[in-house]
Structure formats: structure tokens, C-alpha cells
Structure 1
Amino acid sequence: MEPRQVRCPHCGRANRVPAAGEGRPACGDCHHPLPWIADAGDDDFTEVAERSSLLVVVDLWARWCGPCRMVGPVLEKLAERFAGRMKLVKVDIDSAPRISRRFEVQAVPTLLLLDRGRVVSRHAGAVPEPVLREWIEQGIGAASSGSPP
């Protein structure tokens, strides 16, 4: 669980963001919310994804998957847009077979929305940015109100 280097979209300062932790990451200089993007695997998924107080978008992907390589940067862009309101957790299914089996991944990418560790929504396959943005917005709204998206 290595911290990820993240550049603040507001002031440009480089910050180290841990994969797991309490609260929401913020820039050390300007205190604006930072995108929270973390990698997880079989051994640390619970700590990184399921214990988060923020809505978590789980990207179950594979290195050999062309659509995954298209969706990954879109998700990172959306993590920046929704900084402080969501966390993006990327799971390479080839390196995390238990997670892949647990979530019954049959196609990649498979995207999950987790609210306090519970799957509240799921997408399989590549979808365009506007669809992903709306899906995440609905998830954030539902997580705030306590109802499923």
C-alpha cells in the first residue's frame, strides 16, 4: 500500500496520498481536496476500499484489456472532478484473483460503486465519460441521502 504522488489540480503542488486512511486527502499548501486514487489487491482491498467513508468507485481491470486502457484515464479525470467526494480504487484482476471471483467479474472493465463497503451499483464494459460522470454523481447523491443510486 504505497502512497501515490498526486499533483493538486488547484495549485500544482505534489502531495503524497495514502491508499487507505480516515477523512479526505487535501493539498498541504492550498488545502483543496485532492483526487484519491489507490491501487488494491487481494490482501488490502478491505482496508483500501471497503473501509472508506467516501463513495468508492472500484475499477476492476486488466493490463491486456483495450477498453480498460480507455476507461482508466477517464476515471482518473473524474476522480479529479469529484475530489473530496469519491475515491477511485483500481484492482488488476490478474493480480487479484480472489477479488475477481468475489465480485464475479466476467468482463473487464467492471466498475463497482461501494458505499461503506456495500456494492450499490455495477457497470460492465467500457462506457463514455458522460455516462460514467452521471453514474458517479447519482452514487454520490445516494450516498449522501442514504438511498441506493
Structure 2
Amino acid sequence: MSSPIKVTDASFQSDVLSAAKPVLVDFWAEWCGPCRMIAPALDELSAELGDKVTFAKINIDENPTTPQKYGVRGIPTMMIFSQGQVAATKVGALPKSKIKEWIESSI
């Protein structure tokens, strides 16, 4: 079972932008209730869809540069990166089924 990788400002280029397959990045923070609410769904989806998409998490408090660069204003924000570009963005907590639909329609 694959679980989301932890990404930092320093590793974002290599872990996300240079990745061979699409990467879903979850921008989150410890204090964010909705972020904690969707975390189990993302863990489960990582196990289900891990062969098609890499799941990554970046803590916006510990890594302020990357969220600022991509205009993250509210969390949770999920972005799918493909070939170094933002392919899709979702802001806010969603049920697991909606997150899965969004991922599958975006990759």
C-alpha cells in the first residue's frame, strides 16, 4: 500500500515537477480541520490509484514558498501536476468519491 509522500519546498522540483507520472499535491496544515478530514480519503485513494498517480502532501506552514508560487489561498487545496504543469485544482474538502472522480477526469 502506498501512502502519500511528504514534499518540501526543497524537494518540490524533483518530487513533483520532474515526476514521470501525474502527482496530486495536497496543500495542508496541522491546524486545518477540513485537511485532517480528507486525509484518510487521500490515503485510501493513494492505495487504490497509486499506480496511475503519485500522492504528495506539503505542509504550507513549514513550506511557504511553493503554496505562494501556485497561488494557494485556502486549504485544503489539491492540485494535480502533470509534466511539470498544473493540470487541475480543487479547493476545499470533498467526499472520497468526488475526489476520485476529479482525479480520474483530470489524468
TM-score range, shorter chain: over 0.9
Q: Give me the TM-score of the superposition, normalised by structure 2.
A: 0.94
**CA distance in 1: counterparts of 2:77 and 2:34, whole angstroms:** 10
Kindly report structure 1 stretches of 4+ aligned residues shifted beyond 3 Å: none
Structure 2 partner of 1:136: 103
Q: Select 2:48's aligned residue among 72, 76, 81.
A: 81
The answer to whether the 8 A contact 1:67-1:109 is kept is yes
2:64 aligns with one of 97, 103, 106: 97
Give % identity.
Answer: 32
In structure 1, runs of 5+ residues without a counterpart are 1-7, 9-34, 141-149
* 2:3/2:43 contact within 8 Å kept: no
Matches within 5 A, 1:1-149: 8=1, 35=2, 37-140=4-107
> 2:21, 2:53 within 8 Å by CA — same for their partners in 1?
yes
| Equivalent pair of 1:36/1:86 in contact (CA under 8 Å) | no
RMSD, aligned CA: 1.1
The farther-off stretch of 100-109 and 36-45 is 36-45
Higher RCO (CA < 8 A, seq sep 6+):
2
Query: How far is 1:36 from its partner?
Result: 5.5
Per-residue displacement from partner, 1:77-114 (whole Å, max 9, x unpaired)?
A: 00111121110010000011001111111110000011
State the TM-score, normalizing by the size of structure 1: 0.69
Q: Which structure has the highest helix share of the two? A: 2
> Which letter does structure 2 place at the counterpart of 1:131?
K
Aligned length: 107
* SS of match in other structure, 1:121: strand
Residue segments in structure 2 that go unaligned for 5+ positions in a row: none
